[in-house]
């Protein structure tokens, strides 16, 4: 009997049917073993018990807005357990200088402290943030670990902008020329950035005889004035009255305002300039812009001699009789000659010889942070400028 071999078309049809059935079977098997995934949800096993905990939150991000440098803010995030079993929470990692406070009702400060939330209840997690310099916008994260198999961790984000706790406008008070015989006023505004308005405790100015030459008064800014400074929440002005009689020469004083909001804060503003009057210095080495005598570095073996001039003008010029009260360094010798009229006699000029003798001890008074300025203190006899301080920038080497 002859064996009949199937044709090509029959073989193809059988193969197609078999492949289709195999595909259906494979797809069904994969669908049975692999649950659905939507977005970034974690793939969960189908055997999660009904009494498993379930962590839910209303918000995961909070904006602190603006926060001052050194100031702190806090926000409480709520975590609710909507599952059938108790929810266990522990602190996780932090990507910032945030502090994750204790869970509500939990006294322990241990990093491993655990909070258990019964089904249907919630707890609060406090996140504290402290503004750190140099400031600017920030966005950071803190993490809470859970035993919810669907959500093993919760990431809370905090954001905002760190601004200075206070800002002075202007940053310093510059008074290029102050007449010793006349008074003068100056003003600086302190803007603050905090939840509470500033309460000024005091405003003072340093240096000798501050109350004789200066008077300070503070007043709070109005809401309209505060609104002109972006981010400011409060502020006050410092009015400075400069009284007549300041010694002729450089003026450099520090104004310090102490206030609370509610922490105590100190704001410092530099006041500087030059006090002028009927007495004027000139000559080699005298720098009128710095109001200082620049002698530079001098060899202690050879020493130095320099002559400058003090001129007196105005109605009290004939009363001027300069004498030396003090020199720094002590090796500095100052010799003052007799005064002589200049021109028509409206000005009297005194030669002043400044000598560093050979063999002087090495010192550094180069008017730097490492070497503060030396000085020559004169008593003048002028009723409005009885004393004259001359800063000296000098270093004596070997």
Model confidence pLDDT, tens digit, residues 89-103 = 998 877 665 666 557
25-39, 217-231, 253-267 — which is least confidently predicted?
25-39
Mean pLDDT of 344-350: 91
pLDDT at 15 over 70: no
Residue 397 C-alpha from the chain's centroid: 39
pLDDT at 2 over 50: no
27-36, 98-107, 179-188, 384-393 — which is least confidently predicted?
27-36
Count the alpha carbons within 13 Å of 297 in the hemisphere toward its beta carbon.
Answer: 4
Residue found by looking up tokens 């954001």 in the block: 159
pLDDT at 14 over 80: no
Residue 105: what pLDDT?
57
Residue 230: what pLDDT?
85
Task: Quote the CA–CA distance of 384 and 182 in Å, as a whole number.
Answer: 10
| Per-residue confidence band for 39, with pLDDT thresholds at 50, 70 and 90 | very low
Q: How many CB atoms are located within 10 Å of the residue 293 CB?
A: 25
Residue 20: what pLDDT?
42
Residue 70: what pLDDT?
66
Residue 223 is encoded by which pair of tokens? 């809401």
- Phi and psi at residue 307, to the nearest 5°: -115, 130
What is the CATH T-level fold of the domain 55-162, as seen in this structure?
Answer: Immunoglobulin-like (2.60.40)
pLDDT at 1 over 80: no
Q: What average pLDDT does the structure give for the chain?
A: 83
Per the DSSP assignment, residues forming a β-bridge with 236 are 190, 220
For 279-397, CATH number out of 3.40.470.10, 3.90.950.10, 2.60.40.10, 3.40.1030.10 equals: 2.60.40.10
Q: Greater confidence, 230 or 328?
A: 328
Sequence ranges of the chain with CATH classification 2.60.40.10: 55-162, 279-397
Q: How many CB atoms are located within 10 Å of the residue 10 CB?
A: 10
> How many helices and strands, by DSSP H and E, does the chain display?
3, 28
Residue 194 is encoded by which pair of tokens? 């905090």
- Phi and psi at residue 19, to the nearest 5°: -65, -40
Residue 214 is encoded by which pair of tokens? 């200066």
Task: Quote the CA–CA distance of 355 and 336 in Å, as a whole number.
Answer: 11
pLDDT at 183 over 90: no
Residue 9: what pLDDT?
43
Residue 190: what pLDDT?
96
pLDDT at 327 over 60: yes
* β-bridge pairing 340-342 and 363-365: unpaired
Residue 84: what pLDDT?
92
Where is mean pLDDT largest: 136-140, 165-169, 245-249, 295-299?
295-299
Mean pLDDT of 192-215: 91
Beta strands in 58-150 (DSSP E): 61-68, 72-81, 87-94, 99-103, 114-117, 122-130, 136-148
Q: What is the CATH code of the structural domain delimited by 166-276? A: 2.60.40.60
SS3 at position 11: helix
Q: Write the CB contacts of 88 (distance below 8 Å, at least 6 apart in sequence).
A: 53, 114, 115, 116, 117, 146, 147
pLDDT at 250 over 80: yes
Residue found by looking up tokens 């100052």 in the block: 334
Element (H, E) at 19: helix 8-33
Residue 13: what pLDDT?
44
SS3 at position 21: helix
Q: Is the previous residue joined to 144 through a cis bond, with omega within 30 degrees of 0?
A: no
Residue 301 is encoded by which pair of tokens? 């073996």
Residue 135: what pLDDT?
72
Residues making up the chain, counted from first to last: 398
Summarised one tens digit per residue, pLDDT across range 314-324 is: 999 999 999 99
Sequence ranges of the chain with CATH classification 2.60.40.60: 166-276
46-55, 186-195, 273-282, 367-376 — which is least confidently predicted?
46-55
């Amino acid at each position: 009997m002859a064996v009949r071999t199937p044709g090509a078309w029959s073989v193809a049809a059988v193969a197609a049917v078999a492949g289709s059935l195999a595909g259906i079977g494979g797809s069904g098997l994969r669908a049975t073993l692999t649950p659905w995934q939507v977005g970034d949800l974690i793939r969960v096993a189908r055997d999660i018990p009904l009494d498993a905990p379930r962590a839910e939150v209303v918000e995961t991000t909070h904006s602190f807005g603006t926060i001052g440098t050194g100031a702190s803010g806090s926000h409480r995030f709520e975590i609710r357990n909507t599952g059938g079993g108790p929810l266990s929470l522990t602190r996780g990692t932090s990507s910032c200088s945030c502090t994750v406070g204790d869970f509500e009702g939990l006294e322990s400060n241990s990093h491993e402290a655990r909070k258990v939330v019964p089904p249907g209840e919630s707890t609060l997690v406090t996140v504290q943030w402290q503004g750190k310099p140099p400031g600017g916008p920030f966005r950071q994260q803190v993490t809470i670990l859970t035993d919810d198999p669907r959500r093993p961790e919760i990431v809370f984000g905090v954001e905002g902008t760190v601004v200075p706790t206070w800002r002075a406008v202007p940053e310093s008070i510059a008074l290029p020329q102050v007449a010793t015989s006349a008074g003068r006023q100056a003003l600086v505004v302190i803007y603050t950035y905090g939840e509470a308005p500033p309460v000024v405790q005091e405003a003072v100015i340093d240096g000798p005889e501050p109350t004789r030459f200066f008077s300070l008064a503070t007043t709070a800014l109005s809401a309209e004035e505060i609104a002109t400074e972006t981010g400011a929440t409060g502020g006050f002005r410092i009015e400075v009255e400069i009284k007549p009689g300041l010694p002729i020469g450089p003026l450099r004083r520090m104004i310090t305002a102490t206030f609370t909001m509610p922490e105590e804060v100190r704001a410092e503003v530099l006041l500087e300039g030059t006090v002028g009057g009927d007495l004027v210095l000139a000559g080699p080495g005298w720098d009128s812009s710095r109001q200082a005598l620049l002698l530079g570095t001098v060899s202690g073996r050879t020493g130095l001699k320099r002559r400058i001039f003090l001129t007196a003008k105005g109605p009290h010029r004939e009363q001027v009789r300069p004498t030396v009260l003090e020199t720094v360094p002590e090796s500095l010798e100052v010799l003052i000659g007799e005064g002589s009229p200049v021109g028509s006699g409206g000005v009297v000029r005194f030669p002043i010889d400044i000598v560093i003798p050979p063999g002087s001890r090495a010192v550094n008074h180069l008017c730097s942070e490492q070497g503060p300025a030396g000085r020559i203190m004169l008593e003048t006899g002028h009723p409005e400028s009885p004393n004259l301080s001359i800063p000296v920038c000098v270093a004596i080497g070997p």
